[in-house]
Amino acid sequence: MEDEKEVPKYLVLKIVPEIGVNMRPSSAIKYDFAGSWRSTISEKIRVGFTTTNPKGFLLGFFSNISGEYLTIMVSNSGHLRVVFDFGFERQELIYLDKHFGMGQYHDIRISRKESGSVMVIQVDNNEHKEYKFNIKQSADAQFNNIQYMYIGRNESMTEGFVGCVSRVEFDDIYPLKLLFQENGPSNVRFIGSPLTEDFCGVEPVTHPPNVVETRPPPVVDDDKLRSIYRRTDSAILGGVLAIIFLALVIMAILIGRYLARHKGEYLTQEDRGAESALDPDSAVVHSTTGHQVQKRKEWFI
């Protein structure tokens, strides 16, 4: 038996398009699955939007063959409302934790798990909520033969969603990206008033610039580097600094002695012969020269 080769695993980066569109009451977008009808039991749906008009149809999926559907809308009270019927019975979920008509951008993610019996709703970055449905074993929770996807309103409505819709995703289908693509497919089109592309206040994904390849730096062997260059010992460095400090002290002493010896002399007019006198009177008696005090004279020119 040959050894099984290990298959390398690669990380696949999935980038969600940031394309959005400004919706008007008479506008809608229709995506036709064009014969390749899908039947799902664990859908992954995403839609982002902003509006100041708390009502309207956001996103919907319909099958005329099975009569099954799923719609996501904003109710008149400003709450998120999800209504669907996958064959076991009609269900309605209302997300009451937020008001969705305040002009803020919201990102909605809806999915199913556990064979379609649990629906998961996550709004923005908040904690997701799970809704469990009691489905009989004989019932089928599969969403059968999906034919159409509508954004803004369906063809039976007279007034649709007013606001900006972006990041529409159904599994691996991105209808807004296909709609504004040059020479896009014919199974996605707008209904009613023409639509304009908009980012809905969400910055598009920007990729970092390409890194220029450069030669990697050489590997340095520290042991060899130490053998080539001697490290200066701290003791030698301390000895050199001590000698310099001692030389500065000796130089300061010599300069001080030189200045003291050449400081200069001054003359006094004391009497000679009275050096050994004990008091001023004895000094006058033993004086040999007498007082040599001269009066200062002033000269006027």
Q: Is residue 249 part of a domain?
A: yes
CATH of the domain at 167: 2.60.120.200
pLDDT, tens digit, 9 for 90 and up, residues 117-127: 899 999 999 99
Q: Is residue 299 part of a domain?
A: no
Domain match, 254 and 137 both: no
What pLDDT is stored for residue 1 in this prediction? Answer: 40
Domain match, 168 and 237 both: no
What pLDDT is stored for residue 214 in this prediction? Answer: 83
C-alpha R_g of the chain: 49
- Nearby residues of 98 by Cβ (< 8 Å), 6 or more positions away: 79, 80, 106, 123
Domain match, 100 and 239 both: no
Q: How many folded domains does the chain comprise?
A: 2
Q: Is residue 25 part of a domain?
A: yes
In whole angstroms, give the CA distance from residue 301 to residue 298: 10
pLDDT exceeding 90 applies to what percent of the chain? 38
Domain match, 110 and 235 both: no
Q: Is residue 272 part of a domain?
A: no
Q: Is residue 282 part of a domain?
A: no
- In three-state secondary structure terms, 254 is helix
Q: What is the pTM of this model?
A: 0.61
Domain match, 44 and 180 both: yes
Nearest to 142 by CA among 204, 68, 246: 68
Q: Is residue 205 part of a domain?
A: no
> pLDDT tier at 247 (50, 70, 90 boundaries)?
very high
- Look at residue 284 and tell me whether its pLDDT is greater than 70: no
* Largest interatomic CA distance in the chain: 153
Range of the domain at 252: 221-262
**Residue 58: both structure tokens together:** 């956001």
What pLDDT is stored for residue 12 in this prediction? Answer: 39
Domain match, 124 and 231 both: no
Domain match, 53 and 124 both: yes
What pLDDT is stored for residue 140 in this prediction? Answer: 77
Domain match, 246 and 169 both: no
pLDDT, tens digit, 9 for 90 and up, residues 63-95: 999 899 999 999 989 999 999 998 888 899 999
Q: What average pLDDT does range 134-158 have in this prediction?
A: 85
Domain match, 53 and 128 both: yes
Q: Is residue 278 part of a domain?
A: no
Which residue, chain included where needed, has tokens 């000679």? Answer: 272
Q: What average pLDDT does range 140-169 have in this prediction?
A: 91
pLDDT exceeding 70 applies to what percent of the chain? 74
Domain match, 137 and 226 both: no
Domain match, 101 and 234 both: no
Judge residue 298's burial from the number of C-beta atoms within 10 Å of its C-beta, 0-12 exposed, 13-18 middle, 19 or more buried.
exposed
> pLDDT tier at 193 (50, 70, 90 boundaries)?
confident
Domain match, 148 and 242 both: no
Q: Which of 31-40, 136-145, 214-223, 227-236 has the lowest mean pLDDT?
A: 227-236
Which carries the bigger pLDDT value, residue 149 or residue 193?
Answer: 149
Q: What are the backbone dihedrals phi and psi of residue 151, each rounded to the nearest 5 degrees, phi first? A: -125, 125
Q: Is residue 277 part of a domain?
A: no
> pLDDT tier at 138 (50, 70, 90 boundaries)?
low
pLDDT, tens digit, 9 for 90 and up, residues 194-236: 888 887 876 555 557 777 788 888 887 777 767 666 555 666 7
β-pairing, 80-85 vs 148-151, is unpaired
